[in-house]
Copies of this chain bind each other. A is one copy, B any other.
Amino acid sequence: MHQVTLTGRLFGVRAMGKRLAFATLRCPDKEYLCVFQGRPEAPEESIVRITGQVKPSEKSKKFAEELHVSLVEVISANSSISTAQLKQVAYNKDILPNQHIYMRLPETRDRLLKKWTAIKAIRDLMAAESYVEVQSPRIVGRMTDGPTMKFKVDFFGRDAYLTLSNLLFHTAFTAGDFSSVFEISPLFRADINHSSQHLSEFLILEATSAYRGREEMMELSNRVVRMVCGHTDAQLADKHLADIPVVTYEEMCAITEKYDCSPLVRGGRIKRYHAEAVGRHLGRKLFWAVDLPAKHKAFFSSTRYEPTADAHVANDFRLYWDEVDLIDGGERVTDPARLLERLAEQSLDPQHFAYYLDVLKSGVPPLVGFGMGIDRLMVKCLNLSNVRQVVPFPRFVGHFEP
């Protein structure tokens, strides 16, 4: 038995008759069971400094020791709502203004910690694979040209934009002989999309490697996904992560014809219900889609039989988990003449990509790369319904406060 003074957040106050009360004190290192004579004179979930005697706990299963309180000082009073009140509410938009309180709930804390430590684990894995993390700019200019909606930034009176992808810069880094690079960073998309999987600002892993091909990059992607699933204790039968099946776009067209959904017509975009049907057909949660129509891929994607014959099939890969696409990647055009053709196919102005052409003209090794939506992957691993549940301050149409 010894006296201590501890500072932390007081919560879960339970009165035992009029004379006794219990509560939990959450300190940075651990939580303590507190025993009060009478009810503590501090609003629940305030930051308090408690002085008392530590004794072995008599009844608690959770705590080995109890803190018998002699003095409570309120350091910072809670005059707001409590987690107990928030706990009654299902996750929805109304949570957002109380995000800081919502984070105190053990289940919220657990999923955010899993996400944040998973990101560290991805960085460690990429470093172990000899990838170096670079930094591309968030503010970019004409290289954002394309069909994707972008956010405009007033850059000292001129129109700049928030970046849509780091991959064009990664090509420049590999041209600079950094042969394996990656980046975990936010990207920005200004499309009006109200889906539960969509944010205007979202976190992505993007990687590019020189002197490697599609199969090697799919293998690396597999290792990342498997590691994150393990790290987050994703509830997923082993078979779903072992030998993830590879399905061509052609095969997807054939499979969806058999199912009770409007089939994937050759040349058409893969919709969520197509992906779902294919996964159901395979009996697998995850599968790779490859050989998509090149017109659905970014202009810098190379095509499967380049530069001859069938230039319309991309040399690409895309990972689906149920109906959600988590990874999108492929090999890249390195020939400047072929890039001009690809730009023309997508009605893009070559002048906007003059720098990218300069990069290719300087001699660029064979390239492959991918992007993986980290928020989306977390939603799947943690079996959540909405991507906002893993992003404390999400940005979406009409929402940028706080």
Interface residues of A (CB under 8 A from B): 7-9, 26-28, 43, 45-47, 75-80, 97-104, 108-109, 112-113, 116-117, 119-120, 123, 127, 132-143, 151-156, 158, 160, 162, 169, 172-173, 175-180, 186, 188, 190, 192, 200-201, 203, 210-211, 334-335, 355-356, 358-366, 391-395, 397-398, 400-402
* A103:B177 contact, CB within 8 angstroms: yes
- Picked from B109, B154, B186, the residue with its CB within 8 Å of the CB of A138 is B186
* B365:A7 contact, CB within 8 angstroms: yes
Q: Say whether, besides A136-B393, A176-B104, A190 and B156 are in contact (CB < 8 Å).
A: yes
Docked complex Cα distance between A80 and B364 (Å): 11
Docked complex Cα distance between A134 and B101 (Å): 16
- A100 to B: closest C-beta gap in Å: 4
Docked complex Cα distance between A221 and B234 (Å): 36
* B120:A127 contact, CB within 8 angstroms: yes
Residue on B nearest A127 in the bound complex, by CB: B120
Give the residues in chain B near A123, CB-CB below 8 Å: 120, 123
Docked complex Cα distance between A23 and B2 (Å): 75
* A117:B139 contact, CB within 8 angstroms: no
* A79:B176 contact, CB within 8 angstroms: no
Docked complex Cα distance between A17 and B100 (Å): 73
- A176 to B: closest C-beta gap in Å: 3
Q: Say whether, besides A46-B363, A186-B138, A363-B78, A177 and B109 are in contact (CB < 8 Å).
A: yes
- Picked from B45, B132, B361, the residue with its CB within 8 Å of the CB of A117 is B132
- A243 to B: closest C-beta gap in Å: 28
Docked complex Cα distance between A180 and B27 (Å): 12
- Picked from B103, B132, B156, B398, the residue with its CB within 8 Å of the CB of A178 is B103
Give the residues in chain B near A397, CB-CB below 8 Å: 156
Docked complex Cα distance between A361 and B210 (Å): 52
* A156:B393 contact, CB within 8 angstroms: no
Give the residues in chain B near A97, CB-CB below 8 Å: 355, 358
* B141:A400 contact, CB within 8 angstroms: yes
Q: Say whether, besides A76-B360, A172-B100, A401 and B201 are in contact (CB < 8 Å).
A: no
